[in-house]
Chain A
Amino acid sequence: MKVSLKVNAVWLLGLFLLCSSEWAVADGSRVTATGGATSIEGSAGGGVVPWAVINGYGSSDEWSATAVATGVFVDDYTLKVIGASVSYDNRIELSYARQRLKLDTIGGYLEQDIYGVKYKVAGELLYTRMPQISVGVQYKTVDDFFLPEAVGARDDSGIDYYVAASKVFFDAFMGRNVLVNGTLRVTKANQGGLLGFGSADNNNYELMNEVAVALLLTDNLVLGMDYREKPDELDFAGEDDWQDFFIGWFANKNFSVVLAYADLGSIAGLDNQKGWYLSFEAAL
């Protein structure tokens, strides 16, 4: 089985991160769980929504790196994601994610690369009245345009732009802290980009609302929900909003796991795609 250089590099980074938790490398200074998880697009956030948080635990003047491996197992598809990110000064995040969607029922694969940049422009998640606000860009490019083109997509690459605001409210619900996030995204991507970008009738950017709410059950355990609006531009492949309910365990500043139940709606003509999501993240 041919494995690309990119995938190898990400696995190596992941292995490095896991091993280095045993070396005397200083953890970032930020409080546990404040880096969020990593979404399937490689940006820090929930499962499917990018949040304003910067990945990892690096605080001012500190570097962080993360690696993530995610599997989403719905009725007729399996999505595997491998990603890595680097962040600096709790201000800028550079990310890469490789998505590979196996079409269990239809046959074949859809794959894309996502390169992300996120920049915090205002606020501090925990400390300021103003929410933490970040702007982000995701450059996405699909490997094989055959199926996207067949269902009416216009382009094999595209750029998403978003702005996100996140805030933690202390002692907000049953003595526990709550994180709330709102994200506004403009996109031309179909199914997040896996079915290409734009359509025959429409080459406009669509404005999407995305929200997340999370309850910090303990200092290490987070329960939450992501909701992401999706455009529905392809005549031959209806598209629904995405939603997932997750539980995240932040074991320490080096390792976290997220288990979720995801509802991805209709994908390429097959409706009601629901199933489990499992993600492992290592941070340095």
Chain B
Amino acid sequence: MKLLQASLFVWVIGLSGCASQTSQPVLYDRLGGDAGVTAIVDNLLQKMSRDEAIARHFRDTDISLFRQGLIDKLCVVSDGPCEYTGDTMRNSHKGFNISGAEFDALVQHLIHAMQEENTPMAARNALLGRLAPMYSDVVYQ
């Protein structure tokens, strides 16, 4: 049992090192660059508009501004050559009281959007890993 625990521990530590692979292309390119990210965002926006629980938050939002902001944000998050000039995650979600369920629903929509746009699995998971920590800046405030 001790051997098992030790090897498990080593494996978990090793895994966290594997997350940053400097030898492969940047995540932005693996997502398809500008065309890929734009396609994912447009697909995601369609799904969000059809999900009433999420869509109701956007009634006073300029969707084309939001769309560009989301494209720029994903570009920056995936180490792409962009500049994000929008508000912080915390400020831009303040006052909406977004629930855990709405956040979960958005994550599922994003996963489906990326699958439909044929984003490779490793790139999908890498992007999710970079977006997941935004949870505490987005929900319940």
Contacts and interface: CB of A to CB of B under 8 A. Distances in A.
Given A177-B125, A180-B12, A127 B101 contact: no
Interface stretch (B62-70, B76-84, B126-134): B126-134
A90 B100 contact: yes
Contact of B122 (A176, A213, A219, A229): A176
Contacts of A175: 120-123, 125-126
A219 B123 CA distance: 13
A128 B126 contact: no
Contacts of A180: 8, 12
A108 to B, nearest CB: 32
Contacts of A59: 99-101, 104-105
Interface in A158-213: 169-178, 180, 209, 211, 213
Interface stretch (B14-22, B31-39, B42-50): B14-22
B91 interface: no
Contact of A61 (B99, B103, B120): B99
Interface residues of B, number: 33
Contacts of B101: 29, 59-62
B99 A128 contact: no
Contacts of B100: 59-60, 90, 124
B99 to A, nearest CB: 5
A176 B121 contact: yes
A31 interface: yes
A129 B129 contact: no
B135 A124 contact: yes
Nearest to A217: B121
A30 B99 CA distance: 12
Contacts of A174: 122
A257 interface: no
B56 to A, nearest CB: 15
A284 to B, nearest CB: 16
A172 B122 contact: no
Interface class of chain A by DSSP: loop
B129 A29 contact: no
A178 B12 CA distance: 9
A8 interface: no
Contacts of B99: 59-61
A128 B125 contact: no
B135 A31 contact: no
Given A90-B100, A172-B16, A175-B122, A32 B108 contact: yes
A219 B18 contact: no
A60 B104 CA distance: 9
Interface string A130-173: 00000000000000000000000000000000000000011111
B133 to A, nearest CB: 7
Contact of A127 (B4, B11, B102, B132): B132
Contact of A171 (B1, B111, B129, B136): B129
Given A59-B104, A175-B122, A170 B18 contact: no
Contact of B125 (A60, A129, A176, A209): A176
A127 B122 contact: no
B121 A229 contact: no
A268 interface: no
Contacts of B23: none
A-B residue pairs, 4 tightest by C-beta: A175-B122, A170-B129, A127-B135, A60-B100
Given A59-B105, A180-B8, 14 more contacts: A29-B101, A29-B104, A31-B111, A60-B99, A61-B99, A61-B101, A124-B135, A127-B135, A127-B136, A128-B133, A170-B132, A171-B19, A172-B18, A229-B1
7 contacts: A60-B100, A61-B101, A124-B100, A128-B136, A169-B16, A171-B122, A180-B8
Interface of B: 1, 4-5, 8, 11-12, 15-16, 18-19, 99-105, 107-108, 111, 115, 120-123, 125-126, 128-129, 132-133, 135-136
